[in-house]
């Protein structure tokens, strides 16, 4: 199992990923939809998956004496690793944005606070449950799953932004007022819980789908 995960992280995920995630620095731009800056990791994942399929990665891995569920798990681990790396890289930029650059807040969306990261986890979970089970229906088709997931990501982001901006709880969820931090932390942990649940369901569905595939 460890070797398959190592193969994914070293041979499948393109090295440029570690530069692409730095685009989280877009969070520091004044009055910018910050969640856009968090989405570039999926460009890296799309390129990685596309390149791997060109090189017959799944066919090669499936020919090895390993259970298919291990192949699915390795793909999920690589996906999750890139997503969590994107979030980890974004944290210092979010702090700089909030404390030094955009002290007056973001006029076009959520501020870079706990709510923002909770919504990010939610959106990443939705990406996972769309892309990975769909990909493992065939083991090689990746274009339509990614396009569908990104479209859903944008729609979900817009809906969440509107819900927050129009909600009577806007002051609690948006902004940086210290007295409302517990509410924002609650949103963060809710987003993490949803992310974990959706990713777990994604893994189960992917295993079920991949067991039926004849490569």
Query: Rounded to a whole number, what is the distance in angstroms from the first to the last CA of the chain?
Result: 20
The number of beta carbons lying within 10 Å of the beta carbon of residue 157 is 23
Give, in degrees to the nearest 5, the angle at Cα 211 between 150 and 3.
80
Do the domain assignments include residue 113?
Answer: yes
Do the domain assignments include residue 85?
Answer: yes
Residue 49 CB contacts under 8 Å (≥ 6 apart), including other chains: 12, 135, 142, 146
Rounded to whole angstroms, the Cα distance separating 17 from 40 reads 9
Do the domain assignments include residue 87?
Answer: yes
Q: How many domains does the chain have?
A: 1
Q: Residue 42's domain spans which residues?
A: 2-210
Do the domain assignments include residue 215?
Answer: no
Percent of the chain with pLDDT over 90: 50
Rounded to whole angstroms, the Cα distance separating 197 from 42 reads 20
Do the domain assignments include residue 46?
Answer: yes
Residues 71-96 have a mean pLDDT of 94
Is the confidence at residue 161, as pLDDT, over 80? Answer: yes
Is the confidence at residue 215, as pLDDT, over 70? Answer: no
Quote the pLDDT of residue 212.
Answer: 84
Do the domain assignments include residue 32?
Answer: yes
Question: pLDDT-derived band of residue 214, with 50, 70 and 90 as boundaries?
Answer: confident
For the stretch 173-208, pLDDT in tens is 887 788 889 999 999 999 999 999 999 999 999 999
- 8 A C-beta contact, residue 124 and residue 152: no
């Amino acid at each position: 199992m460890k070797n398959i995960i190592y193969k994914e992280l070293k041979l499948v995920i393109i090295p440029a990923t570690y530069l692409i995630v730095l685009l989280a620095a877009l969070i520091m731009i004044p009055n910018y939809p910050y969640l856009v800056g968090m989405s570039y990791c999926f460009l890296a994942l799309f390129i990685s998956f596309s390149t791997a399929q060109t090189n017959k990665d799944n066919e090669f891995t499936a020919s090895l004496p390993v259970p298919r569920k291990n192949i699915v798990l390795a793909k999920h681990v690589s996906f999750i690793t890139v997503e969590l790396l994107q979030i980890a890289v974004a944290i210092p930029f979010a702090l700089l944005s909030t404390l030094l650059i955009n002290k007056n807040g973001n006029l076009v969306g959520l501020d870079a606070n706990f709510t923002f990261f909770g919504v990010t986890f939610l959106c990443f979970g939705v990406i996972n449950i769309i892309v990975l089970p769909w990909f493992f229906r065939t083991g090689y088709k990746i274009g339509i799953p990614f396009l569908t997931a990104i479209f859903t990501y944008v729609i979900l982001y817009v809906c969440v932004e509107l819900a927050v901006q129009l909600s009577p709880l806007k002051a609690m969820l948006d902004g940086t007022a210290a007295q409302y931090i517990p509410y924002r932390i609650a949103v963060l942990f809710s987003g993490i819980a949803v992310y974990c649940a959706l990713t777990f369901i994604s893994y189960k569905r992917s295993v079920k789908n991949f067991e039926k595939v004849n490569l």
